[in-house]
Amino acid sequence: MARRHSKMAVNLTLLNSTNASSEDYVYDYDIDDALYDFDWMELGPSLCVYSITFLAGILGNLLILVSVIRHTHVKSSPVNVFLASLATADLMLIVICLPLKVFKLFTYTWTLGLFNCKLLYFMQSVSAIGSVINLTALSFERYYAIVHPLKSQYLCTISKAKKTILVAWIAAFFLAIPVLFAQIHLEVGVRYKAYWCVRDIDNPAKWRAQELYLLLIILVIPSVVMSFCYGKIIREVCQVVRQRSNLTQNYGKPR
């Protein structure tokens, strides 16, 4: 379905008269396009990119997880605990969502049912939100480790990092719930009944609110928090460099 959006003008078929209400319109599709029309000039590059992303993503993220699990000197750092969590988020996206996305490229309709329709976009949101929360938590850890090194000795421990990751993933699953209501399993077709897995196009206020919601929790709020943390880190590093420069210049001068 997604691959033919450029060609697909959503057809509205009037069932009764010209004075019928909007409820008398149904979404239709071309059964021949749905079964036999494959534009490989469009599908080929997308399929290659998806395949490369799948293989590289699986290999790279598995290597990160293996490194964290097998090597104690890596596992002893809270930073690498967060990196392992980020790798898990990427694997979740690659293993669950990417195959469904590839399948969607080759079909004009959605044949995998309501559950997989909801699962695709829910897990996609969970992965994105989980990654952002982990990155935000990592910025806090770096902030305390550099700006408040004494506090970080008891605040930035592996035990607390694991608890933070657990809370982050619980929050990610909870915050992704609204996408279940914005994404629908829409019945289409006049002669041949089928389904589309799309956002609620008959209720634009709903999906626009959901897009704004995701914009806030994935981009705006994390950007503000991380800008604060890394801004403080940059300021602290600049002060240390300036102090060392002054000490170096003053060293050896006669008093």
Distance in Å from the first CA to the final CA of the chain = 80
pLDDT tens per residue across span 7-57: 343 444 433 334 444 444 566 656 656 555 666 677 778 888 888 989 999
Among all chains, which residue has been given the structure tokens 């699986």?
A: 58
Write out the H or E segment, with its range, that includes residue 13: strand 11-14
Residue with the bigger pLDDT between 92 and 29: it is 92
Domain ranges of the chain: 2-248
194 strand-pairing partners? 188
d(Cα 171, Cα 130) in Å, to the nearest integer? Answer: 8
- Positive or negative torsion for Cα 88, 90, 126, 165: positive
Q: Is the pLDDT of residue 161 over 80?
A: yes
Q: How confident is the model at residue 188 (pLDDT cuts 50, 70, 90)?
A: confident
Whether domain 2-248 has CATH 1.20.1090.10: the reply is: no
- With a cut of 60, say whether residue 70 has pLDDT above it: yes
Tell me the average pLDDT across 175-194: 85
Per the CB < 8 A criterion, the answer to whether 187 and 195 are in contact is yes
The predicted structure's pLDDT at residue 250: 66
Three-state DSSP state, 68:
helix
Closest CA to 164 of 124, 213, 130: 130
